[in-house]
């Protein structure tokens, strides 16, 4: 089997890349180790930056998102029993975000790929990337119990942290930067309308809490918990009680709506960057190259930025013979990645209470939050980072 671009992984990054390439007349093959049902129910991110929304629309994949997604023009910061709303459009020249789950993005892109695009092979396990430094790299994969080879001009690894693409990067060239946090997020889905029409980020002496949503009838909420926590250790009532404590406010008009919890999980918190993101004709994208703590809602959006950068670079080479953007792929992506890492780290350390936090640390957190809520420049910096910088500004 042969193609121009071999894509490993049918998450939102791999699927969007295939879609962008198809619309530019460039063929691709997508290899996904899991079956379609697994990919379409895999719960991950739910906040789409303005740039991600724009790209999905431009790719012809935005119709259902525009019907069912929830546009959000701000978030609320809650601390010391105070409430402060960040008005995104007013601070960013009109940008906002949209709540639309990653599972729904994948469903939309899968349907388009199967109807219009190139091969999308489920249950095709990538085994190795070979010949990345040559003009004809290849991916060895197993499907239906038989080992096969996909010959390519380029390979893009969208296969996550544990995938084979990153392992194909020469160890002598690789540099890793990471930080592991001593806490995670206990997350729930609940069949109850959200208690607020925008996301609420709460800093509390007992730990961080986030009030989010998946739809007008489904609440998504998170609590900071110690690293290694078993979600079964928390009863539904204990979770709701703790959310009530951490979201406390002096506003008597606000109350927390409770309902049946349908899912619980714990998400570890880490920051990770692999440099470079390119070796020869092998390109890394998304979690294969970088991971951010979920506090800043950057993960999916960073992956989108990576594949948009690659697609535009390849189109420039095919149409104009300009290979400079392909050569600059890693450097261009990493500028954006490190800004997202900076923002995610700042949000995480400002809102979460470390196990060894001192009274001094607590006061610094409150001072940082007070600065954002009283200085327009600080508020603007948060709004610009949260809604995402334009994808063509690397």
* pLDDT tens-digit map of 104-143: 999 999 999 999 999 999 999 999 999 999 999 999 999 9
* Spatial separation of the C-alpha atoms in residues 12 and 104, rounded to whole Å: 10
pLDDT on residue 392:
62
100, 181, 222, 386: which is the annotated catalytic residue? 386
Cis peptide before 291 (omega within 30 of 0): no
What is the dotted CATH code of the domain comprising 5-72+97-177+269-353? 3.50.50.60
- In this structure, the strands spanning 74-79 and 82-87 are antiparallel
- Marked catalytic residue, from 72, 196, 204, 279: 72
Q: Which element (helix H / strand E) includes 301? A: helix 299-320
Residue numbers in the chain where pLDDT is lower than 50: 393-394
Q: Domain residues of the chain, as ranges? A: 5-72+97-177+269-353
- Give the active site residue among 22, 279, 298, 352: 298
Strand order in the sheet with 138-143: 124-130, 138-143, 146-151
Alpha-carbon distance of 275 to 290, in angstroms, equals: 9
Decide: 352 and 209 in contact? Cβ < 8 Å.
Answer: no
- Residue 394 is predicted with a pLDDT of 41
- What pLDDT score was predicted for residue 223? 98
Is 141 within 8 Å of 124 (Cβ atoms)?
Answer: yes
Which pLDDT value is given to residue 248? 96
Of the residues 12, 137, 194, 294, only one is catalytic, namely 294
Q: What is the pLDDT of residue 391?
A: 76
Residue 42 has what pLDDT? Answer: 81
Instruction: Give the tens place of pLDDT for each residue, 204-216.
Output: 999 999 999 989 9
- Name 78's bridge partners: 83, 202
**Residue ranges in 176-284 assigned as alpha helix (H):** 236-246
**274 among known catalytic residues:** no
For residue 193, indicate whether it is catalytic: no
Q: What is the pTM of this model?
A: 0.94
Question: Are residues 257 and 193 in contact, defined by beta-carbon separation less than 8 angstroms?
Answer: yes
Q: What would you report as the CA-atom Rg of the chain, rounded to the nearest whole angstrom?
A: 21
- C-alpha distances out from residue 22 to 29, 51, 98, 315, Å: 10, 20, 25, 11
Cβ atoms of 214 and 220 within 8 Å: the answer is yes
Active site residue 201: yes
CB neighbour list of residue 344: distance below 8 Å, 6 or more residues apart? 271, 292, 293, 295, 296, 298
Contact 263, 149 (CB under 8 A): no
User: Residue 339 half-sphere exposure, CB side, CA atoms within 13 Å?
Assistant: 20
Q: Point out the catalytic residue in the list 100, 201, 222, 329.
A: 201
- For residues 289 and 303, give the distance between their C-alpha atoms in angstroms, rounded to a whole number: 9
């Amino acid at each position: 089997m042969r193609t121009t671009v071999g894509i490993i992984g049918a998450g939102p990054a791999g699927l969007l890349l295939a879609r962008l390439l198809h619309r530019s007349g460039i063929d691709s093959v997508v290899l996904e180790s899991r079956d379609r049902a697994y990919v379409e129910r895999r719960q991950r991110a739910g906040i789409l930056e303005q740039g991600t929304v724009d790209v999905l629309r431009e790719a012809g994949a935005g119709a259902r998102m525009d019907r069912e997604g929830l546009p959000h023009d701000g978030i609320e910061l809650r601390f010391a029993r105070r409430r402060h709303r960040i008005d995104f459009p007013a601070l960013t020249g009109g940008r906002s975000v949209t709540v639309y789950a990653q599972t729904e993005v994948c469903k939309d892109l899968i349907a388009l790929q199967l109807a219009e695009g190139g091969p999308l092979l489920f249950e095709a396990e990538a085994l190795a990337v070979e010949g990345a430094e040559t003009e004809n790299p290849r991916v060895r994969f197993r499907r239906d119990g038989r080992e096969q080879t996909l010959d390519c001009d380029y390979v893009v690894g969208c296969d996550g942290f544990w995938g084979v693409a990153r392992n194909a990067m020469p160890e002598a060239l690789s540099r890793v930067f990471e930080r592991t946090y001593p806490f995670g997020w206990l997350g729930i889905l609940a069949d109850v309308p959200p208690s607020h029409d925008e996301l609420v980020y709460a800093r509390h002496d007992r730990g961080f809490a986030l009030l989010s949503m998946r739809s007008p009838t489904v609440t998504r909420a998170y609590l900071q918990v110690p690293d290694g926590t078993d979600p079964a250790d928390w009863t539904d009532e204990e979770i709701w009680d703790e959310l009530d404590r951490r979201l406390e406010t002096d506003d008597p008009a606000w109350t927390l709506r409770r309902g049946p919890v349908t899912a619980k999980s714990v998400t570890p918190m880490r920051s990770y960057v692999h440099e470079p993101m390119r070796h020869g004709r092998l390109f890394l994208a998304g979690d294969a190259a970088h991971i951010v703590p979920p506090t800043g809602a950057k993960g999916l959006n960073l992956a989108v930025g990576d594949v948009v950068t690659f697609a535009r670079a390849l189109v420039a080479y095919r149409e104009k013979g300009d290979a400079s953007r392909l050569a600059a792929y890693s450097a261009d992506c990493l500028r954006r990645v490190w800004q997202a890492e900076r923002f995610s780290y700042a949000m995480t350390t400002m809102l979460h209470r470390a196990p060894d936090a001192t009274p001094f640390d607590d006061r610094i957190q409150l001072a940082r939050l007070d600065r954002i809520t009283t200085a327009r420049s600080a508020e603007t910096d948060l709004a610009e980072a949260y809604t995402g910088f334009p994808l063509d500004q690397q």
